[in-house]
Amino acid sequence: MIRVSLPLPVSLAASLFPHTLWVLSCLATAATEPTPAEPVKPAAPLAAPAPSAALRLAKLKDKYGDRMLYEVDDKLRILFVMGTDQRSLGEVKQRLTAHAVALQHDLFKHGIKDYLAVIVPRKWANPKVTGHFYPDLVDAATIGSNLMHEFTHALHYADQVGRGEYQPVWIMEGLASLYEESAVVDGHAVPTVNHRLLKLQEEVKNKHYLPFAKMMKLERRQFTSHQYAQARYMCMYFHATGQLPQWYATYTAGFAADASGIAATEHVYGKPLGEVEQDWVAWLLKQVPPRLVVGPGAAGLGIGTQQLPDAVEITQLAPQQAADLAGLVVGDAVIRVDGERMIEMESLGLALARHRVGDAVKLEYRRHGEYRETTATLTALPAASPPAKQPL
């Protein structure tokens, strides 16, 4: 329901090591996430019809003003309120459509009935909370993983309402976290490993995780920041073993008898829960987290950045480093690296970490609303200097 992350410093010295800062922030994320608020339970059918899409859109315009883009998608049943340009709005529509179709094919048989407002403001106010879900609204700091997490909540909620179920927190947060980093391949949503894995592996090795039997019976007030990663990778194990659709179908069919998911897990895997957990531990420890080689000498652009709703904006530029030599300027927004979409700063760090000093990378960037391309030859990041007292 709620995702949080640590804000990244933007001083020039810090910006020369964006990968290091990202790793540190990711390791600290699980420890700083607040206990999730009580989720919204699936409601009984409304006695009166929901407000019309036109009326809701008018109210949203009054609230968010004229600088946002507004669009109604009757097929998706979504009211878009976007602090982006038209190109990024089109990208969001395409991604959410593919995501909804894939998940409704594999898992969620009941779709969104009343119009859902999808809001990505021009500037996100709270640096520690990156998204929210309510029955008729999701908002997010970015159009990337933040939005996908909350939109998955909305799809899952609609399915629960259609089934008349109120599923436990580990499933709700597990599925939302699972698909925050995913891609639709051949009509199916395929999750990928993300920053949550490394910390979880450490906890599993030290036996600091919750046994499945306890995890699957947690009440919302008992679910803490540490459980986000475990819930995600429990669901990812079901996916990796090819059992997630069957598991969810079995679970929902037997929901009245066992809402925890224990019976469904034992039935699908044909063994006691403890043995499934042992198999999960073995699988989990074999997964490769997104580790980064960082520090002086690593390949980089030499930039300081801040998060935009749909891209990574350059806030500082080290002279005679890769970005400066390629003609980029402060205020440019990095859109793609070698064709790969860069929405969040983590994505940029991972993309650069795959390269060595001297590699040429193709950059797409946006300047004053115009999209351009250039090639940058990555330079070695220098040793860190004391942080600047004033913004550079």
pLDDT at 383: 74
Residue 20 domain-assigned (yes or no): no
Q: Distance between CA atoms of 146 and 19, rounded to whole angstroms? A: 19
pLDDT at 225: 82
Q: Distance between CA atoms of 332 and 236, rounded to whole angstroms? A: 36
pLDDT at 293: 62
Buried b / exposed e along 235-262 (16+ C-beta atoms within 10 A): bbbbbebebbeebbebbbeebeeebbbb
Q: Could you say which of 119, 151, 166 is where a domain stops?
A: 166
Q: Could you say which of 101, 134, 166 is where a domain stops?
A: 166
pLDDT at 237: 98
Residue 17 domain-assigned (yes or no): no
Give the residues of the chain that fall short of pLDDT 70.
Answer: 1-51, 292-294, 384-392
Residue 159 domain-assigned (yes or no): yes
**Considering its fold, how many domains does the chain have in total?**
2
pLDDT at 392: 28
pLDDT at 182: 96
Task: Give me the domain span that covers residue 162.
Answer: 36-41+51-166
Can you give the three-state secondary structure of the chain, one letter per residue?
A: CCCCCCCCCCCHHHHCCHHHHHHHHHHHHHHHCCCCCCCCCCCCCCCCCCCCHHHHHHHHHHHHCCCCEEEEECCCCEEEEECCCHHHHHHHHHHHHHHHHHHHHHCCCCCCCCCEEEEECCCCCCCCCCEEEECCEEEECCCCHHHHHHHHHHHHHHHHHHHCCCCCHHHHHHHHHHCCCEEEECCEEEECCCCHHHHHHHHHHCCCCCCHHHHCCCCHHHCCCHHHHHHHHHHHHHHHCCCHHHHHHHHHHCCCCCCCCHHHHHHHHCCCHHHHHHHHHHHHHHCCCCCCCCCCCCEECCEEEEECCCCEEEEEECCCCHHHHCCCCCCCEEEEECCEECCCHHHHHHHHHCCCCCCEEEEEEEECCEEEEEEEECEECCCCCCCCCCCC
Residue 67 domain-assigned (yes or no): yes
Q: Among 112, 121, 238, which Cα is nearest to 174's?
A: 238
pLDDT at 141: 97
pLDDT at 28: 34
Residue 130 domain-assigned (yes or no): yes
pTM for the whole structure: 0.86
What CATH number should be reported for the domain holding residue 345?
2.30.42.10
Q: Could you say which of 166, 201, 232 is where a domain stops?
A: 166
Residue 21 domain-assigned (yes or no): no
What CATH number should be reported for the domain holding residue 68?
3.40.30
Residue 197 domain-assigned (yes or no): no
Residue 267 domain-assigned (yes or no): no
Decide: 35 and 224 in contact? Cβ < 8 Å: yes
pLDDT at 294: 67
pLDDT at 39: 52
